[in-house]
Structure 1
Amino acid sequence: MTKKNLPLCPVSRTAFIIGSRWTSEIIRELVDKGARRFSDFETVLVGIAPNTLSNRLKMLEDHGIIERRIYDTHPPRSEYHLTQKGQTMRPIIDAMRNWGKSSA
Structure 2
Amino acid sequence: MKNTFRCKCPITSALDILGDKWSLVVIKQMLFEGKSMFKDFTDSPEAIATNILSARLKTLEDFGIIDKQKLPTNRKTNIYTLTAKGLSLVPVLVEFTLWSKNHVQDFNPDMNLDEKLEWVEKNKEAAFKQIAENYKEYKQSLLKVKKDE
TM-score of the superposition, structure 2-length normalised?
0.63
Distance 1:83 1:45 in 2: 25
Cross-structure match for 2:60: 60
Q: Percent identity?
A: 33
Distance 2:21 2:63 in 1: 16
| RMSD of Structure 2 on Structure 1 (CA) | 1.8
Residues 1-104 of structure 1: pairs in structure 2 closer than 5 A: 2-3=2-3, 5-6=4-5, 7-34=7-34, 36-74=36-74, 76-104=76-104
Matched-pair contact (CA < 8 Å) for 2:35–2:41: no
How far apart are 1:41 and its partner, in Å?
0.5
1:16-48 Cα offsets, whole Å, 9 max, x none, are 111111111001111213451111111115331
Cross-structure match for 2:138: none
Q: Runs (4+) of structure 1 moved beyond 6 Å?
A: none
Distance 2:74 2:56 in 1: 26
Aligned residues: 103
How far apart are 1:77 and its partner, in Å?
2.5
How far apart are 1:100 and its partner, in Å?
0.8
Distance change (3 Å), C-alpha of 1:45 and 1:8: farther
Distance 2:44 2:82 in 1: 17
Structure 1 runs not aligned, ≥5 long: none
| Aligned partner of residue 44 in structure 1, secondary structure | coil
Q: Which amino acid aligns with 1:69?
A: Q
Larger radius of gyration: 2
Identify the structure with bigger relative contact order (alpha carbons < 8 Å, sequence gap 6+): 1
Distance 1:68 1:22 in 2: 18
| Aligned partner of residue 70 in structure 1, secondary structure | strand
